[in-house]
Amino acid sequence: MSPRARAVDPDRLAQWCLEHLGSPPAEELFRSGYLSAVIGLRLADHRAVVVKVRPDSPRIAACVDVQRRMFQAGYPCPQPLTGAAPFGGDVATAEAYVPGGAALPSAEHAPLAFAEAFARLIRLAPRPAEVSTLAPVPSWAAWNHAGDGLWPCSEEDPDVNLDEVAGAEWIDDAGRRARDLLRAGKSDAVLGHCDWLAGNLRWSADALLVVHDWDSVTVESEEVLVGFAAALYSTVSADELASVEDTERFLVAYCQARGREFSAGELQRAWAAGVWTRAYDAKFQHAVGQPITSLSEHEARERFRRAGAASPHDQVT
């Protein structure tokens, strides 16, 4: 998906840094971002920081709180340097800049490395009751949203109503079947990361260097969060999501890391969660006229089969 650039006034940015970090910017190191503007800066006092500007939301303060707790617990994430502070009509935060690292661990170790890093995150994360609201859930994880339609309101483009977009009915069918499986069971909620994309992690060989994008923390059943991660990570290219086999390897490695197997129902929900989040992305891609790369009809059928939820007409060839 192509991001829409978020304009950040340089004078406002300089004033914000002086007020909240005690030093103005001396040099811009990089600028990126998708739903937010992410700006790397060298301050006049020589510190390297990252300032993130995005629309205000009640969940941002809780996300920063979680990131700070994870840093204090020794998890590899950037140290937050501020809380959520107003930035014009938006809100901004700052964190220490953690440079370097590779996009992926070695291909043969990727499933285990990504799964162990995720299991450690779940293990160290605070309990949901220990943090303030993390609502609303990011749209790609909002399978149980309160709206009337199948799809939640898109964060990528709020003007696009996915429920009103015709065509590619197989995507709606996959999303609906996955949602029904997710609604069929429930386990205790935990706190975790719902956007376990390769672009949000960096590695030093096969060791985790840093996890970014703590705006993507949310509260959900463990197997659902694991299902999202198992479907979204990468093994050989950061631009290619996990294959069906990669997802299965991740799920096996995660259970080994946590020291306990998922039940049959939990495993089914993990597979269903992966289908739902990738179907959501596929639906958005279709809606805005982009190539559908997040999911294929064939792959959706195979993922349901692995979940033990194939329908009679699902014949994978």
Residue 72 lies in a domain: no
Q: Do both 89 and 174 map to the same domain?
A: no
* Residue 269 and residue 177 share a domain: yes
- pLDDT(63) > 60: yes
Residue-wise pLDDT for 108-145, tens only, equals 999 999 999 999 999 999 999 999 999 999 999 999 99
Same structural domain, 84 and 141? no
84 and 202 inside one domain: no
> Is 90 exceeded by the pLDDT of residue 3?
no
Query: Has residue 317 been placed in a domain?
Result: no
Identify whether residues 124 and 39 lie together within a single domain.
no
Domain assignment of residue 3, yes or no: no
My answer on whether 141 and 84 are in the same domain is: no
Average pLDDT over residues 308-316: 70
pLDDT tens per residue, range 208-235: 999 999 999 999 999 999 999 999 999 9
Same domain, 150 and 294: yes
Domain that holds residue 149: 107-306
**Does residue 120 lie in a domain region?**
yes
Give every CB contact of residue 273 below 8 A, 6+ residues apart in sequence.
Answer: 143, 178, 182, 223, 224, 225, 226, 227, 228, 231
Residue 5: per-residue pLDDT: 55
The count of domains in the chain is 2
| Pair (210, 235) in one structural domain | yes
Burial class of residue 167 (count of CB atoms within 10 Å of its CB; 0-12, 13-18, 19+): exposed
Q: Is residue 27 part of a domain?
A: yes
φ, ψ for residue 149, nearest 5 deg: -85, -175
| 33 within a domain of the structure (yes/no) | yes
Residue 119 and residue 90 share a domain: no
Q: Residues 137, 291, 177, 133: what is their CA dihedral angle, to the nearest 10 degrees?
A: 0
For residue 313, pLDDT beyond 90: no
Question: In Å, how far are 102, 110, 121, 271 from 266, measured between CA atoms?
Answer: 32, 23, 19, 9
CA 277 – CA 72 distance, rounded (Å): 30
